[in-house]
C-alpha cells in the first residue's frame, strides 16, 4: 500500500519501531478510541472473558469470551470493552514479507468473528502470550525475531482452518486478492480491467471466480466497496459531502449524488444521516 492509498485520517500503529505490537485489551490507546476510527494496520482481537460490543464498519458484534476478531486496514472500528479482557495483536501489511508463503489477502474472510472452542482459543492465546513476552525484551536477537514471526504465522495460518464459513471464496486466491485490493485502490480504480491488470489475470477469469464464490460480478463488488468507502468517510465526519466527492475522484457533485442514489436509493444527505444513526 503506497502513501496515496493510506487515508490521512487513519490511526497509525502506536510503536513504529517494532515488528508488531501486542497489548492487553484495556491498554491506554494513543488516540480517542471512544469515537469511530480507522487503522492503517491489521488488528487481531482475542477476547478471553467478559463482555463488550464493537462495530466493524457497519456491523455490530457482541463480544464474549473465547472469541477472535480480524480487522483489516481501512475499516471503521469502535469498541466498547465493558468487562471484556484479552489481547490485541497489531501489525502492518509489510510484515508479510517475513511470513512467506502467507499472503495478506488470505486474511480476508466473509465474517470477521471466530467463535472458538476452548482448546483452539487457549492454543492461540498461549501463542500470543509467548509473542508478547518476547516483545518485552528491549533488544531482540535475530532468533527472537524469527520466533515472533513463526508464532504470528501459526496464528494467521490457523484462521482459515478455524473459520465457520469454509466457503469456496476462502479457497479462491483470485477472489480474496481482488477483495483485498479494492479498499487500497477504490479512490482511483473503478474498472474491472484496472484490477485485472494489478493481478495479471483476464476479466473473464475474475468474473467467473467472483460469480462462483460470491454470486456477484466484479463490477458489483467495486460499486459496493465504493459506497462502503463513502459511508466510512461520512461516519468519520471530517469532510463535507463536496470534499468526499473530491476525495473519491468523482468528476462532479452531480455524478457523486447519482451514484449514491443508484446504490442506496437515498440522497447523499440522507445516506449520511442513516449512517451516523448506526453509531449513536
Average pLDDT over residues 169-195: 85
Q: What share of the chain in percent tops pLDDT 90?
A: 54
Q: Residue 253: its pLDDT value, please?
A: 94
Q: Answer whether residue 172 shows pLDDT above 80.
A: no
- Tell me which CATH code domain 169-278 carries: 1.10.10.60
Phi then psi for 208, rounded to 5 degrees?
-65, -40
Average pLDDT over residues 221-245: 92
Chain segment 189-219, per-residue pLDDT in tens: 999 999 999 999 999 999 999 888 788 899 9
CB 206 within 8 A of CB 213: no
Chain segment 72-126, per-residue pLDDT in tens: 888 889 999 999 999 999 998 888 888 877 778 777 777 789 999 999 999 999 9
Task: List all residues 6 or more positions away from 152 whose beta carbon is below 8 Å from its beta carbon.
Answer: 20, 89, 91, 95, 99, 131
Q: Residue 167: its pLDDT value, please?
A: 47
Q: Answer whether residue 43 shows pLDDT above 90.
A: yes
What is the pLDDT of the chain when averaged over all its residues?
86
pTM: 0.77
CATH architecture of 3-166: Sandwich (2.60)
The structural domains of the chain, with segments of one domain joined by +, span 3-166, 169-278
Chain segment 65-87, per-residue pLDDT in tens: 999 999 988 888 999 999 999 99
Strand (E) or helix (H) holding 22: strand 21-24
Amino acid at each position: 500500500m503506497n502513501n496515496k492509498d493510506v487515508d490521512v485520517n487513519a490511526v497509525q500503529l502506536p510503536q513504529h519501531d517494532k515488528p508488531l505490537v501486542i497489548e492487553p485489551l484495556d491498554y491506554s490507546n494513543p488516540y480517542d478510541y471512544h469515537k469511530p476510527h480507522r487503522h492503517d494496520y491489521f488488528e487481531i482481537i482475542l477476547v478471553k472473558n467478559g463482555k463488550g460490543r464493537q462495530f466493524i464498519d457497519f456491523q455490530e458484534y457482541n463480544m464474549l469470551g473465547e472469541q477472535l476478531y480480524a480487522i483489516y486496514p481501512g475499516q471503521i472500528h469502535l469498541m466498547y470493552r465493558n468487562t471484556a479482557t484479552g489481547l490485541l495483536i497489531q501489525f502492518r501489511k509489510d510484515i508479510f514479507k517475513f511470513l512467506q508463503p502467507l499472503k495478506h489477502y488470505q486474511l480476508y474472510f466473509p465474517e470477521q468473528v471466530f467463535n472458538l472452542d476452548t482448546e483452539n482459543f487457549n492454543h492461540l492465546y498461549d501463542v500470543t502470550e509467548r509473542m508478547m513476552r518476547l516483545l518485552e525484551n528491549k533488544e531482540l536477537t535475530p532468533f527472537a525475531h524469527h520466533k515472533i514471526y513463526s508464532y504470528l504465522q501459526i496464528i494467521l495460518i490457523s484462521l482459515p482452518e478455524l473459520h465457520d464459513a469454509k466457503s469456496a471464496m476462502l479457497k479462491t486466491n483470485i477472489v480474496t486478492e481482488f477483495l483485498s485490493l479494492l479498499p487500497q485502490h477504490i479512490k482511483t480504480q473503478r474498472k474491472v480491467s484496472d484490477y485485472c491488470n494489478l493481478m495479471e489475470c483476464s476479466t473473464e477469469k475474475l468474473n467467473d471466480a467472483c460469480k462462483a464464490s460470491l454470486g456477484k460480478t466484479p463490477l458489483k463488488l467495486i460499486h459496493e466497496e465504493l459506497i462502503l468507502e463513502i459511508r466510512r468517510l461520512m461516519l468519520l465526519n471530517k469532510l463535507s459531502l463536496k470534499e468526499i466527492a473530491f476525495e473519491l475522484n468523482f468528476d462532479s457533485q452531480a455524478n457523486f449524488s447519482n451514484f449514491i442514489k443508484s446504490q442506496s436509493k437515498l440522497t447523499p444527505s440522507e445516506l449520511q444521516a442513516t449512517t451516523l444513526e448506526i453509531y449513536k
